[in-house]
Amino acid sequence: MSAPGWAAARLDEVPTHLLPGGARRIAIREHLDVQAFGINAYSGDAGQTVIDEHDEAQALAAGHQELYVVLAGRASFTVGGEEVDAPPGTLVFVGDLGTRRGAVAREDGTTILAVGAPAGEAYTVGRWEPMAGFFDFYTRGDYEGGIAFLEECLRRDPGYPGALFNLACAESLADRADDALEHLREAIGGEPKLRQNARDDEDFAPLRDDPRFQELVR
């Protein structure tokens, strides 16, 4: 339901995207066309990672303060090394960009609303959103489909390091080593912090012994 100036929707009406590990991202910001702040929800079943461990100072992060609201189920947050048991109604706010945070579902159907924006400056829609559908291909092992999807993303947003990095991941898994190495080189050139990500990312296991890969991540 919508009219000029407002919109209403049920959470189960909002499109979702699969995430590695089985959880789902509920694309609220895009569905409602929110422009003032980032807002999405994440849902998973017991044992699944619902909020990936991350900080807002790492590679490709937007530098947002973030508020998490547990809507359903039960989650276990780890924030700055501290454990937080989170039944429905729990609020977890992380204002420090360098503080690592993440959450695991303790019950089926755990759903967490995430709201974020930079402190003291205008919010802009993240460059990562148009490429989020890549994980629908990735999680079902359709690497060639994911490659085609990301190539289209890069036609719309040339040079985006996040798309280039994920493209390199998919190409590595699809045994397209030369393409993977070239796109990984471009990704690291645009965002040097991705060098560390590449060292640890299992998607690059097929390239581990390639001297060209070793030179890139050194």
106 and 6 inside one domain: yes
Over the stretch 58-86, which tens digit does the pLDDT of each residue have? 999 999 999 999 999 999 999 999 999 99
Instruction: Tell me the pTM.
Output: 0.88
The DSSP element (H or E) to which 195 belongs, if any, is helix 194-200
Give the count of alpha carbons within 13 A of 83, CB side only: 5
Per-residue model confidence (pLDDT) at position 4: 80
Residue 44 in 3-state DSSP? strand
14 and 113 inside one domain: yes
148 and 107 inside one domain: no
Question: Which of 69, 97, 117 is the C-terminal boundary of a domain?
Answer: 117
Based on the structure, what is the number of domains in the chain? 2
Task: Flag whether 123 is in a domain.
Answer: no
Q: Tell me, letter by letter, the H, E, C secondary structure of the chain.
A: CEECCEECCCHHHCCEEECCCCCEEECHHHHHCCCCCEEEEEEECCCCEEEEEECCCCCCCCCCEEEEEEEECCEEEEECCEEEEECCCCEEEECCCCCCEEEEECCCCEEEEEEEECCCCCCCCCCCHHHCCHHHHHCCCCHHHHHHHHHHHHHHCCCCHHHHHHHHHHHHHCCCHHHHHHHHHHHHHHCCCHHHHHHHCHHHHHHCCCHHHHHHHC
CATH number of the domain residue 197 falls in? 1.25.40.10
Per-residue model confidence (pLDDT) at position 1: 67
Neighbours of 12 (CB within 10 A): 7
Per-residue model confidence (pLDDT) at position 2: 65
CATH number of the domain residue 112 falls in? 2.60.120.10
Q: Which residues of the chain have pLDDT under 70?
A: 1-2
Domain of 177, in residue numbers: 129-217
Task: Flag whether 85 is in a domain.
Answer: yes
Question: Which of 117, 141, 158 is the C-terminal boundary of a domain?
Answer: 117
Task: Flag whether 68 is in a domain.
Answer: yes
Question: Which of 95, 117, 139 is the C-terminal boundary of a domain?
Answer: 117
